[in-house]
Structure 1
Amino acid sequence: MMNKFIIVLLFLGSPVLSFGDARLISPDQENMRALSFNESDELTLLTDLIWQNIQQEAGSLRKQVLELALKGYQQMQEQGLLKEGKPLTVIDFDLPSTQKRLWVIDMESQKLQHTSLVSHGKNSGLIKAEKFSNTPESHMSSLGFYLTGETYVGKHGASLRLDGLEKGINDMARSRAIVIHAADYAEPTFLKNYGRLGRSLGCPALPTENYEEILALIKEKSCLFIHADEASYKKQSVFVSQG
């Protein structure tokens, strides 16, 4: 779907060939232009398109975070990890827990479907998550790209298992029982009373309102990206490496 959209845009953006056009582009020139349209161009175009669709509703979501998420999403598709049209979920732990910092994007309509508050691990920080770990019993959040797994009913009710895709960064998520679930300490009332959300044992915990709808939407092998502006992550990540 994405490649078809790119080809249509290229066609529409090309000069119309007509006998009255003094600056006709030859077939060879047009082929060279198509060949020069690389993956970086495709990522920029897709980011711009989705950003135009969602920026009015997305609140604190930053375009550069969206672009990183889409970069990993594309690589997951290329590796056969994602089926076409699966949603993209982004969490930005650069933001404090007082702000909505989770977004679910429908990649078919390229529109925003949900925004939500979300808690981080209690040993990652108080209002903001500033430390991250892949270690069992660390009670910290982990960054990076995940595939969502199956839902089940546990002590927090309906919950969604996560499989971390980045070795040494989040690949212990399932064995650590890092899941998406609802919690009373992630409710707006807790935020109002305490000036911040409560914290989890490392799980992304959501308010109860709409959370089962979110789980149903993103379960079974969709992409979750948990972001923080951490240089060591960007250097090590197999999806967004800058090193």
Structure 2
Amino acid sequence: MTEQTPKTILVTGGNRGIGYAIAQAFKNQGHNVCITYRSGEAPQEFFSVKADVKDTESINAAYELIEKTYGPVEILIANAGITRDTLLMRMTEEDFTDVIDTNLTGAFRVVQRATKGMLKLKRGRIIFISSVVGLYGSAGQTNYAASKSALIGMARSITRELGARNITANVIAPGFVNTEMTAALPEKVQQQYRDAIPAKKFAEPEDIAHVATWLASEQAHYISGAVIPVDGGLGMGH
């Protein structure tokens, strides 16, 4: 396989924000980019499949459609995620389990299904989109932090299990990113977050996309089980 050979890419939650930027970056490289989305509009520029990472049958159906059209998924970006932020004493069990089921178990579902094709191909790249919160912690995000931290253990276990099969698993840990979610925050809160970041600014979605495409490239073939922060220095040392 050369860098010029189009590969089959799947980005979960690829219809907005970081996921969309990652999908666009791979498309710009000439790859066959597929995305899953649960709600909202389906981007016409990608092969878009409506699927819910909380539903195994839905994920299996999405993979079958992708494989029928483009063949096995060679590069998977497990990006789909939700938040249910609230202080620990106010957090319901549903708040906790919904986030875990989407962000963590959902990642497990899409990765497990992808590895079937990767093992047959004898190659594959798995990239988890975690968060600085998974390492740094954040008040009001016990559920989210737990789910994002656990992705690191998942990636490193996969590395030990499948590393000899030419399959890598890595984690990108973004900090605050200019997306619809951060734009909805009051300006005073946004400024407080910026003040805490050594770079004094938020990342752009494309900053995370650049790292994702590099991790999927031949230049990064010997990197696995790594956590790469893209956070302007916010979480350094964690």
TM range (shorter): under 0.3
Q: Which has the higher helix share?
A: 2
TM-score (norm 2): 0.26
TM-score (norm 1): 0.25
